[in-house]
Structure 1
Amino acid sequence: MAFLLLTRFCYYICRLKKIIHIVGNRPQFIKLAVLYKAIAESGMARQFILHTGQHSSHEMSGIFFDQLALPAPDIRLQIDNTDPDLFIAAATRQIRDHLFANNYNAVLIYGDTNTTYAAAIAAARSGQTLHHIEAGVRNGDLRVPEELNRVIADRLSSYHYCCTQYNLDTLKSEGSGKAGSFFTGDLMLDAYLRLPEDAAFRPEFSSYIACTIHRAEHILIKEQLEAVIAALNNIHKQIPVVMPLHPHTQKKLSGLSVKAAFRIIAPLGYSRMKAFLQHAAFIITDSGGVSREAYFARKKALVIMERPVWPEILTTGAGLACPPDTRMIEDAFQQLQQLEPDFEKAVFGKGNAASAISRHILNAL
């Protein structure tokens, strides 16, 4: 009897479809957490996680797997992320080799990172079906690495899951919005609504600006980073600016002629970051993910990007965008304080993206 049950169990496991999630950085871990759980609850697929190591430190990686109750990655690549081009080349080759050796029914990629780009190329070369989560995002500037990553990922994917209706309309305008393209809402909103904030968090200031700076074009171009730091120093004189510092940005600050006069703290895990944003008076960021979390938290945000990737937020009156110029950042922050936002629009869906995406993926299988 035991042998018969074991045989049936093995037969059942072998018949399950195989899905691999390819991730490498903080926002991807957050999105993965809610979608992984939704697919697991269906009982219809075996899931595997490949972590490229794009974010490899415990503060930017391990803590998220721990706090989000994610299983440890099944495959963990050890790739030096110092040089983006070398990282992409090594990641593409190693992911391709893994996909050739292991046939999956669906390869899932997230967002617009170098991990996403490498995985898209690898999946195409290995002939496996690619699903792009957070598809259709554009800012129209191919000089920005993430824009190139988005375009390539969308062109190579068979299935597209869009955070907003605007993203889906963008795909349609490009000729990619076919039967496999859907407006599902945003997994980041699912996570924000379901995952608790750190109740023990106590802000250092009664009123402060939560700030994050990490984009490559800002931290790798010294003049741009100095312009941003100078603006933040001046704004800090009005309202305290508090910045959880990305490890890569921290290295760059030491070589600047303009020194940071605002408050710098260590990187935060998801639950503490959520509390950090919830308690802030305003948010200044160059992150697409944090700008969305600001909207979820009903906070007005200044996005330091000449061409923001989420213009939907700006159209609600919840944010402004500006380039990395000292005077323009300071002027935009003054204007930000006068905005009257509409946080009621369901721009990013209603918090059920995980179930919608899971359903579409499983139907495709």
Structure 2
Amino acid sequence: MKILTVVSARPNFVKISPLLREISLHSNIEHILIHTGQHFESNMNDVFFKLFNIPKANYELEISGGTPSNQIGRIITKAEKIFLDEKPDWVVAVGDVNSTVATSILARNLNLRLAHLEAGLRSFDETMPEEINRIITDRLSYLLFAPDKFAVKNLKTEGIDESKIKFVGNIMIDTLDMMKEEAMKINTLADYNLSEKTYALVTLHRPSNVDNPSRLRSLLNALTNTAKQYGLKMLFPMHPRTKENLGIDGIKAIESQKEWIISKPLDYLESLSLLLRSRLVITDSGGLQEETCVTGIPCVTVRSNTERPITLVENGGTNRLAKTIEEIPEIIKKSLNSEAVPFRPELWDGRTAKRIIKLLNEQR
């Protein structure tokens, strides 16, 4: 059996690592890896391939920059001959980024069997490019690997053939379980003059939060004031998009506040190490909502919605939504004053990759 996957953005590497490890245990499976280059500087490629022990890609498309539509079109154009030459038994689309939907459209146009890893997630906000990518990919897939019961329900509600829906659990947690022990061995707190449980780990990169300079300044001001109130440090690994939108003067203004510590973007292991030692996570990332849920770290998601409702406090998790900037102080207060305990939803057991490969083998 031949499986073809396409990776691009950082979350793809986190999700595909356990899958590749499981594939390596099956002598009957040949794996073809295409790397698009989306979202990465060349030096970051090597970091992620090495960190997750991912073999060198069979094909490099070297696509970066451009609008989402432009990226999708170029991926389809460059990958078409590869798909035709390789003739995979399964094409696995990963997550919800531009390469995901490009992979899906191309696979179906070539009449190749398509499986979607992380199917059924819905924010119900179609202004988000990721939401459109999810919907399209799910509609085109022959197998839909859903991470939780909410995702399964969404797919059924949308009329997806139930025989195609496979509840397999969350592959991000496979990676977390593999890397957690290693993450605890490294301790970079001294690099930032921090001690455990005295800081919030902050990540912001969504266009809705960082592309409007006025909103971004208001958001950071709200976090600064809250940090002062609770004596927290704010450790802020700054995403390139956020850095560009803040500009030199904006970054200097933040760095002048003693509550803030600005760092370079972190690799997965560094990020996990700092997450595990933090008092609180403030984010607009999807993956961090899941990781804080399983590790029992309070999480404030600066968004009006989430495609991962299973992580919310009302469903047993540690995640609260700050839907407006005005809500941020109160939501942080609740998060700091409430007990947060680790919560593992059903099948978030570190065996998702095994279930996926078993299903692909059975239906080849």
Global fold match (TM > 0.5): yes
Unaligned runs of 5+ in 2: none
Pairwise CA distance, 1:256: 7.0
- How far residue 53 of structure 1 moved from its aligned partner, in angstroms, is 0.9
Query: Retained in 1: the 8 A contact 2:18–2:174?
Result: yes
- Give the Cα–Cα distance (whole angstroms) in 1 for the partners of residues 169 and 145 of structure 2: 8
SS in structure 2 opposite 1:182? strand
Could you tell me which of 27, 31, 38 is aligned with 1:47?
A: 31
Which residue in the other structure is 1:287 paired with?
285
> Paired residue for 2:87, among 88, 100, 103?
103
Q: How many residues align?
A: 348
1:205 aligns with 2:197: no
**Secondary structure of the residue that 2:266 maps to in structure 1?**
coil
CA separation of 1:334 and 1:347: change in aligned 2, threshold 3 A: farther
Find 1:249's aligned residue among 226, 237, 242: 242
Partners in 2 of 1:254 and 1:352 — Cα distance? 43
**TM-score, normalised on structure 1?**
0.90
CA distance in 1, matches of 2:326, 2:249: 19
1:339 matched residue in structure 2: 338
- Contact 1:226/1:256 (8 A) holds in 2: no
Following TM superposition, by how much is the alpha carbon of 1:118 offset from its aligned partner in structure 2, in angstroms? 1.3
> What SS does the aligned partner of 2:63 have?
coil
- Change in Cα spacing, 1:345 to 1:31, as seen in structure 2 (3 Å) is closer
The question of 1:353 aligning with 2:344 is answered no
Match of 1:239?
A: 232
- The 5 A counterparts of 1:162-177 are 162-177=146-161
In structure 2, what is the Cα distance between the partners aligned to 1:100 and 1:303?
42
Are 1:83 and 2:83 matched, yes or no? no
Do the aligned residues in 2 keep the contact of 1:109 with 1:132 (CA within 8 Å)? Answer: yes
Q: Deviations over 1:17-70 (max 9, x none)?
A: 211111101111011111011012021210011111112225643211111111
The 8 Å contact of residues 222 and 256 in structure 1, kept in 2 or not, is answered as: no
Q: Deviations over 1:237-258 (max 9, x none)?
A: 2310101122222111117768
Per-residue deviation, 1:229? 1.8
Q: Residue 132 of structure 1: SS of its match in structure 2?
A: strand
Change in CA separation of 1:343 and 1:69 when aligned onto 2, cut-off 3 Å: same
1:259-280 residue CA offsets vs partner (Å, 9 max, x unmatched): 3242111111222111111110
Question: 1:60 and 1:327, CA in 2 relative to 1: closer, same or farther beyond 3 A?
Answer: farther
Instruction: Give the CA RMSD over aligned residues.
Output: 1.9
Q: Does 1:22 align with 2:11?
A: no
Whether 2:297 is the aligned partner of 1:299: answer yes
Q: How far apart are residue 97 of structure 1 and its match? A: 3.5
Q: What one-letter code is carried by the residue in structure 1 that aligns with 2:232?
A: I
SS in 2 for 1:337: helix
Alpha-carbon distance in 1 for matches of 2:329, 2:242: 21
Distance of aligned partners of 1:227 and 1:82 in 2 relative to their CA distance in 1, 3 Å threshold: farther
**CA drift at 1:348:** 5.4
Q: What letter corresponds to residue 322 of structure 1 in structure 2?
A: A
Contact 2:93 2:104 in 1 (8 A): yes
The alignment's TM-score, normalised by the length of structure 2, stands at 0.90
Aligned-residue offset at 1:210:
0.7
User: Which residue pairs with 1:222 in the alignment?
Assistant: 213
5+ residue gaps, structure 1, are 1-16
Post-superposition shift, 1:300? 0.7
Kindly report which structure 2 residues correspond to 1:52-131, keeping only aligned pairs within 5 A, or say none: 52-58=36-42, 60-131=44-115
- Over 3 Å counting, the alpha-carbon distance change for 1:177 and 1:330 in structure 2 is farther
Q: Is the 8 A contact 1:21 1:49 kept in 2?
A: yes
Change (3 A) 1:231 1:85: farther
Farther off after superposition, 49-58 or 104-113: 49-58
What code does the residue aligned with 1:332 have? I
